[in-house]
Amino acid sequence: MLPSLFISHGSPMVALQPGETGRALARLARELPRPRAILVVSAHWETTDLHLTSAPRQQAWHDFYGFPPALYALDYQPPGEPQLAGEIVELLEAAGLPAQLDPQRPLDHGAWVPLRMMYPEADIPVLQLSLPSRQGPALQTQLGRLLGGLRERGVLLIGSGSVTHNLRELDWDAGSEVVEPWAREFRDWLVEHLQAGDEAALHDYRQQAPWAVRSHPSDEHLLPLFFARGAGGEFGVEHQGFSKATISMDIYRFG
């Protein structure tokens, strides 16, 4: 059975400069059984209610600006799977969580950038579920548990965000060995409580974790972690590292 994954997707420039993150994602894809489909929750599709992509062919959305032209030339057009999208909506509605099919929404960079490194042939169907970010961690855990059974059907479930995400405190000159102590302390607290399975503390991370608000001025980039955790099993670390001193590039596996 496939695990669920949480991927810290980093800057869109990872698509051009994959570094250790890209190598870790490529290795992970080689080690996993080939999925029949992929379902992604990304920090970059915030909504009030649940939406799910349903196009027969997905498109890469360059939802960023100010980057080199080479980045905008990259594409990723995997197939969708409208039938599976309909089944997922039925599952959600049966649990009292109505969702809308969206045949127009493209894949944001939180989805296509890591997938392009994992499955560059773009030949595995991809669906993206939106993030009702105002409803917090508990909803994401609920969604993960509700949809976790899809793993047994060969669907790879991915939450894509970042373990730390404070863009105002980036150190653009820092090498990968430089890490701000507050960012490391928050990351270490998170890993400790994931290993312990302390769901109550994790859901209340903004009050209990050290440097929580500094690490996440808003929490949309951490919320996909709760989806991945809810969907999976035993916690494991696939990759750890930092970019620009404050942005965690960790990748976690559940199950």
- For the chain, list residues with pLDDT below 50: none
CA dihedral sign of residues 214, 219, 221, 223: positive
Residue 220: closest CA among 98, 47, 100, 62: 47
pTM value surpassing 0.95? yes
Residues 6+ apart with CB under 8 A from 149: none
Distances (CA, A) of 205 to 135, 191, 200: 14, 12, 9
Domain that holds residue 212: 4-254
Cite the beta strand spans of 27-71 per DSSP E: 37-46, 50-53
Q: For residues 71 and 139, is the Cβ–Cβ distance under 8 A? A: no
Q: What is the pLDDT of residue 100?
A: 97
Mind listing the pLDDT tens digit for each residue in 20-41? 999 999 999 999 999 999 999 9
Q: What is the pLDDT of residue 175?
A: 81
- CATH assignment at residue 34: 3.40.830.10
Domains identified in the chain, total number:
1
Q: For residues 140 and 223, is the Cβ–Cβ distance under 8 A? A: yes
Q: Which two tokens stand for residue 119?
A: 């499955």
Residue 44 φ then ψ, to 5°? -100, 15
Mind listing the pLDDT tens digit for each residue in 217-252? 999 999 999 999 999 999 999 999 999 999 999 999
Q: Which two tokens stand for residue 8?
A: 């810290």
Distances (CA, A) of 163 to 6, 201, 222, 234, 238: 9, 16, 6, 18, 13
Residue 79 φ then ψ, to 5°? -70, 155
